[in-house]
Chain A
């Protein structure tokens, strides 16, 4: 299947600092990218959706000024957690949708585990 990568796979940062997570679609062009968050023992929660070159659409309750999303190209999206706090510690997963071998399915990255100390 299509490959979506994330970098870094895990990161530890101090409270008050910002962290950037990259998401890349390696073998297809992603017209739409999605960011999810998953807390321990819970399901994935959609945070935002973005189309290339457009502003992201955030889910209700997700602070757009805290979670900055940039979908600069058809293969790259970034999520920046600004002024991170311990409650932002979570598993962040990106997903990309585009034409891969004639199919437009949604493929997921391996996730980034963020720990804020």
Chain B
């Protein structure tokens, strides 16, 4: 599985967009980019995934660079409830978790 690199922590002001970066320079052609988040003491929650094109759903947008070596998860209007650890995972099928980014949304 390709390795991912994420900043350990980020802060964001409530109501502003949160942009979470992820580097995955060794990604293979058949590997998808997945994003999950884990709120304290809960199971991970699926957010979004993509292969090579940008994706958007009701929770977030995923921007994947043309060379697929990095991606950005965008939460357009962050709320306090978005405070969580966000995991970027590159996988052909099953999820292995790295350290993730601890996002803190501040009022």
Interface residues of A (CB under 8 A from B): 1, 4, 6, 32, 34, 36, 43-46, 49, 91, 93, 95, 97, 105-111, 113
Total cross-chain contacts (CB, 8 A): 47
Q: List B contacts of A4 (CB < 8 A).
A: 43
Q: How far is the CA of A105 from the CA of B96 in the complex (A)?
A: 14
User: Are B41 and A44 in contact, CB atoms less than 8 angstroms apart?
Assistant: no
B10 is an interface residue with CB less than 8 A from chain A: no
- Distance in Å: Cβ of B41 to nearest Cβ of chain A: 7
User: Are A110 and B94 in contact, CB atoms less than 8 angstroms apart?
Assistant: no
Interface residues of B (CB under 8 A from A): 36, 38, 41-46, 49, 87, 93-100
- Distance in Å: Cβ of B67 to nearest Cβ of chain A: 25
User: Are A111 and B41 in contact, CB atoms less than 8 angstroms apart?
Assistant: yes
A-B contact pairs, 11 of them (CB 8 A): A32-B94, A43-B97, A46-B94, A93-B44, A95-B44, A97-B93, A106-B95, A107-B46, A108-B44, A111-B41, A113-B41
User: Are A49 and B97 in contact, CB atoms less than 8 angstroms apart?
Assistant: no
Q: How far is the CA of A111 from the CA of B40 in the complex (A)?
A: 11
Q: How far is the CA of A82 from the CA of B20 in the complex (A)?
A: 40
Q: List B contacts of A32 (CB < 8 A).
A: 94
User: Are B44 and A97 in contact, CB atoms less than 8 angstroms apart?
Assistant: no
Known: A32-B94, A105-B49. A43 touches B99 (CB 8 A): yes
- Distance in Å: Cβ of A74 to nearest Cβ of chain B: 17
Q: List A contacts of B96 (CB < 8 A).
A: 46
Q: How far is the CA of A25 from the CA of B100 in the complex (A)?
A: 26
- Distance in Å: Cβ of B77 to nearest Cβ of chain A: 21
Q: How far is the CA of A36 from the CA of B36 in the complex (A)?
A: 15
User: Are B95 and A43 in contact, CB atoms less than 8 angstroms apart?
Assistant: no
- Distance in Å: Cβ of A13 to nearest Cβ of chain B: 19
